């Protein structure tokens, strides 16, 4: 009996290891494939910025760059301890890692790390409500005595004591995506979400003819981006378009399926609805599913960010257009700013990474295409 | 409900009495569902409309199928926290088969079901052989499935754009072709079909009988010579297969396997089962109750949205309903 139980346990563990090994192999492959593509695209754009950097920085960069170039095939773990003394280490702590937006930010920060010869790690909590998990990540990162820290704060106040510690220890802290309510941050690389959502409101008003009912789905009512996009849209509507009525604002947690059912109920509740705004990728995909399922392609649908489904919908005309941020740019700029801060160069308090309106006419243009992700 | 049963026959007799009381609970739940329909229909002219009713049915499909699987597990006095993320993992595996490997759609569906069943099987082994409490074993599986879904998909959604038939399987309407204008998506019928199968398994098969026996009195069942470990593992595997089906339905509806979804879905499924009168202490429960429970949640969510009730209050109301439903169940049992 005991022998049998041990055997079962052994088999289960063996199966788990086999599964892990198989998956690890599968997971690693796309990452390696993806690397060259990422490097190829933004490298040209970025070149002038590097040239502009002062000579001292260039000299410092040169050494680690050579070291990095050689052992690309060797595992990163082996290279790390040897280089630790010279290569600046910058932990990048985001709000998440599994959404496409954060993957794009990650690609940007990795690109910057490769260009500037620094070592980064990119991590974030599983969901955008896990303020506590993020706090632990920051704590662990600071314990490694990094050269600088990049942080997209989930909560604009909760992290301040930790960041003050970092500041006292002489570690420059760079914000990205959203800032914190304190001037500890050397700078913040972010989208002006209020202005961006205001632009969505202008486009909506234009497309529905300045009057009628509009509904909104936002990802949540507590995060900075959720609040800014909602208020940016609603306030612009209220001040500039008195004949447009916002009939409902609901929150779908960025969950595609929940947002779908939510959007369907709103469309059912308001048969005269003319327009629908989805404030992030999950929200807008819910709206698009609802419109498809109910056959209401007469609705003017405006979204945020990108993602394959949204890009397809814009190309096919189902979605009128969307606001895109510059996620790769956010990731790149924050690491770049961190390197500048390490070198003691002056930085503006805010780095506006920009936002753009795109629709079927300019989706494939040179200006827009690099900002979109699938 | 758990009396000191020493023989299986007593548990059967007990079960018969139980069915009578279950009827009351179902009636209560069903009356609640009807009451919700009436209230929302009176409150908004937009509620009782064909499209909206279809919307409610469709919104129930995924949660309903998950809840069917959870019913079996809760009837054994167990719990499964992994249904939500196992659903996601199954959806991802369907995507791997259909989109990455270009295999036929039926194989992709099978892969989803098999992934769910395998995860359930591992849960079952952990619980029955390794004696890990269900709460912990399935908590571990919940995390593992979430991680694996992200690893396998490379943390990117897998789309089914090249295989429109995959979406059509759930979102198309076979009945709409037979009766023009009656466009009820197949997903709704898949839910009802799954419910009928689940009901047959629970009431007409050996597996169903042992599911109830395990929950009523596991020790007595063991003493009467039943291989408790094997049957328990089978129940978890069955529950997992329903999560797999839920994953396939979700992937079909979203036309993509979204690796980041799934967290929190287990709680909706458990709530549906509990509202449907299944006792968390095991030994009793019905599929019809679970289906009604799942519909109560969907109708409530949909109706409150139609009335534009702020979301914060929707959560408060749904939570209160769960507590009231369980309280009604306790009162009913006390009066027995």
A146-198 pLDDT, tens digit per residue, is: 999 999 988 777 788 889 889 888 999 999 988 777 888 999 999 999 999 99
- Residue A17: per-residue pLDDT: 53
Residue-averaged pLDDT of chain A:
80
Q: For every one of its 336 residues, what pLDDT tens digit does chain B have, with 9 covering 90 and above?
A: 444 444 445 455 555 544 455 566 667 788 889 999 999 999 988 899 888 898 899 989 999 999 999 999 999 999 999 999 999 999 999 999 999 999 999 999 999 999 999 999 999 999 999 999 999 999 999 999 999 999 999 888 898 988 999 999 998 888 888 888 788 999 999 999 999 999 999 999 999 999 999 999 999 999 999 999 999 999 999 999 999 999 999 999 888 898 888 888 999 999 999 988 888 888 889 999 999 999 999 999 888 888 878 777 888 988 898 888 888 778 877 776
Q: Which domain holds residue A316?
A: 193-324
Q: Is residue B31 part of a domain?
A: no
Q: Provide the CATH number for the domain around residue A349.
A: 3.40.50.2300
Check whether residue A138 and residue A153 sit in a common domain: yes
Q: At what angle do helices B228-254 and B83-95 cross, to 10 degrees?
A: 60
Please tell me what DSSP assigns to residue A72: G
Contact B126 A12 (CB under 8 A): yes
Q: Is residue B107 part of a domain?
A: yes
The closest CB to that of A257, out of B146, B150, B250, belongs to B250
Q: Is residue A103 part of a domain?
A: yes
Q: Is residue A25 part of a domain?
A: no
Q: Is residue A114 part of a domain?
A: yes
Q: A279 at the B interface (CB within 8 A)?
A: no
By three-state DSSP, how is residue B51 classified? Answer: helix
Q: Is residue A167 part of a domain?
A: yes
Check whether residue A49 and residue A168 sit in a common domain: yes
Check whether residue A147 and residue A52 sit in a common domain: yes
- Give which of A5, A11, A16, A269 to mutate to test B binding, by max B Cβ within 10 Å: A269
Check whether residue A58 and residue A207 sit in a common domain: no
The closest CB to that of A12, out of B122, B156, B159, belongs to B122
Q: Is residue B323 part of a domain?
A: no
Q: Is residue B27 part of a domain?
A: no
* Range list of β-strands (E), chain A: 89-93, 119-123, 149-151, 173-176, 187-190, 212-218, 244-251, 273-278, 300-304, 321-324, 350-352, 356-358
Check whether residue A183 and residue A304 sit in a common domain: no
**Nearest 5°: CA angle at A122, between A119 and A123?**
145
Distance CA B28, CA B331 (A): 12
> Which residue intervals of chain B are DSSP H helices?
8-43, 50-75, 83-95, 105-128, 134-153, 164-171, 174-178, 186-204, 206-216, 218-223, 228-254, 265-275, 287-306, 311-334
Q: Is residue A30 part of a domain?
A: no
Q: B49 at the A interface (CB within 8 A)?
A: yes
Q: Is residue A258 part of a domain?
A: yes
Check whether residue A166 and residue A243 sit in a common domain: no
Sheet of A212-218: strands edge to edge?
A: A244-251, A212-218, A273-278, A300-304, A321-324, A356-358
Check whether residue A225 and residue A146 sit in a common domain: no
ipTM over 0.90? The verdict is: no
Q: Is residue B227 part of a domain?
A: yes
Distance CA B275, CA B324 (A): 9
Please report residues of B whose CB lies closer than 8 A to that of A127.
Answer: 263
Q: Which residues of chain A carry a pLDDT beneath 70?
A: 1-86
Taking Cα atoms as reference points, which of B328, B296, B336, B335 lies closest to residue B28? B328
The closest CB to that of A100, out of B152, B156, B312, belongs to B156
Which of B 254-293 lie inside 8 A of A, CB atoms?
A: 254-256, 258-261, 263
Check whether residue A155 and residue A187 sit in a common domain: yes
Check whether residue A180 and residue A245 sit in a common domain: no
Domain count, chain B: 1
Distance CA A217, CA A224 (A): 15
Look up tokens 């079901």; give the residue: B113
CB A313 within 8 A of CB A290: no
Domain count, chain A: 2
**Nearest 5°: CA angle at A184, between A151 and A330?**
35
Please report residues of B whose CB lies closer than 8 A to that of A260.
Answer: 253-254
Whole-prediction pTM value?
Answer: 0.73
Check whether residue A256 and residue A350 sit in a common domain: no
Q: Which domain holds residue B228?
A: 57-263+279-284
Check whether residue A133 and residue A176 sit in a common domain: yes
Tell me the nearest-neighbour CA distance from A7 into chain B, angstroms. 11
Q: Is residue A318 part of a domain?
A: yes
Q: Is residue B28 part of a domain?
A: no
Check whether residue A176 and residue A245 sit in a common domain: no
Look up tokens 């780095």; give the residue: A351
């Amino acid at each position: 009996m005991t022998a049998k139980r041990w055997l079962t346990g052994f088999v289960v563990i063996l199966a788990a290891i086999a599964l892990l090994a198989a998956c690890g192999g599968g997971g690693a492959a796309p990452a390696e494939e993806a690397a060259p593509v990422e490097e190829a695209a933004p490298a040209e754009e970025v070149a002038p910025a590097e040239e502009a950097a002062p000579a001292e920085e260039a000299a410092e960069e040169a050494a680690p760059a050579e070291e990095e170039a050689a052992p690309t095939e060797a595992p990163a773990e082996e290279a790390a301890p040897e280089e630790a003394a010279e290569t600046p280490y910058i932990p990048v702590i985001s709000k998440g890692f599994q959404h496409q937006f954060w993957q794009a930010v990650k690609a940007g920060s990795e690109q910057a790390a490769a260009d500037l010869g620094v070592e980064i790690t990119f991590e974030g909590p599983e969901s955008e409500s896990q303020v506590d998990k993020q706090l632990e990540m920051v704590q662990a990162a600071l314990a490694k005595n990094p050269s600088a820290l990049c942080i997209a704060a989930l909560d604009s106040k909760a992290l301040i004591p930790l960041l003050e510690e970092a500041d006292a220890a002489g570690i420059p802290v760079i914000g990205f995506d959203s800032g914190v309510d304190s001037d500890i941050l050397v700078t913040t690389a972010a989208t002006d979400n209020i202005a961006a959502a205001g632009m969505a409101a202008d486009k909506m008003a234009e497309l529905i003819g300045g009057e009628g009912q509009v509904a909104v789905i936002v990802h949540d009512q507590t995060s900075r981006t959720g609040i800014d996009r909602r208020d940016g849209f609603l306030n612009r509507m209220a001040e500039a378009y008195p004949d447009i009525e916002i009939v409902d604002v609901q929150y779908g947690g960025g969950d595609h399926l929940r947002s779908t059912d939510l959007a369907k109920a709103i469309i059912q509740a308001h048969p005269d609805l003319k327009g629908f705004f989805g404030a992030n990728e999950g929200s807008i995909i819910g709206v698009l599913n609802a419109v498809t399922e109910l056959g209401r392609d007469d609705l003017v649908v405006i979204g945020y960010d990108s993602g394959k489904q949204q890009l397809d919908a814009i190309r096919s005309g189902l979605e009128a257009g969307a606001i895109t941020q510059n996620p790769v740019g956010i990731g790149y700029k924050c690491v770049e700013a961190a390197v500048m801060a390490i070198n003691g160069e002056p930085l503006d308090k805010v780095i506006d990474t920009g936002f753009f309106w795109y629709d079927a006419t300019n989706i494939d243009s040179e200006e827009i295409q690099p900002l979109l992700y699938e | 409900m758990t009396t000191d049963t020493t023989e299986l026959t007593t548990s059967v007799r007990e079960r018969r009495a139980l069915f009578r009381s279950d009827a009351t609970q179902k009636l209560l739940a069903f009356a609640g569902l009807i009451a919700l329909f009436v209230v929302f229909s009176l409150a908004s002219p937009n509620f009782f409309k064909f499209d909206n009713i279809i919307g409610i049915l469709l919104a129930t499909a995924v949660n309903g199928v998950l809840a069917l699987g959870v019913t079996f597990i809760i009837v054994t006095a167990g719990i499964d926290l992994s249904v939500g993320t196992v659903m996601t993992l199954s959806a991802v595996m369907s995507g791997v088969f259909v989109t990455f490997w270009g295999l036929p759609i039926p194989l992709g569906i099978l892969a989803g079901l098999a992934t769910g069943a395998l995860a359930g099987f591992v849960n079952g082994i952990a619980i029955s052989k390794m004696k890990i409490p269900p709460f912990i074993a399935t908590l571990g599986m919940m995390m593992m499935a979430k991680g694996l879904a992200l690893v396998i998909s490379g943390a990117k959604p897998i789309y089914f754009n090249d295989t429109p038939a995959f979406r059509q399987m759930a979102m198309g309407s076979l009945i709409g072709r037979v009766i023009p204008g009656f466009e009820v998506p197949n997903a709704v019928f898949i839910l009802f079909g799954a419910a009928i199968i689940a009901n047959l398994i629970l009431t007409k098969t050996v597996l169903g009988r042992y599911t109830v026996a395990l929950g009523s009195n596991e020790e007595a069942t063991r003493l009467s010579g039943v291989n408790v470990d094997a049957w328990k593992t089978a129940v978890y595997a069955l529950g997992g297969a329903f999560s797999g089906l839920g994953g396939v339905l979700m992937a079909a509806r979203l036309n993509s396997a979204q690796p980041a979804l799934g967290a929190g879905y287990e709680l909706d499924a458990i709530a549906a089962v509990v509202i449907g009168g299944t006792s968390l202490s095991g030994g009793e429960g019905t599929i019809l109750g679970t289906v009604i429970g799942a519909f109560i949640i969907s109708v409530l969510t949909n109706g409150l949205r139609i009335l534009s009730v702020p979301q914060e209050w929707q959560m408060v109301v749904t939570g209160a309903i769960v507590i009231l439903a369980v309280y009604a169940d306790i009162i009913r049992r006390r009066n027995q």
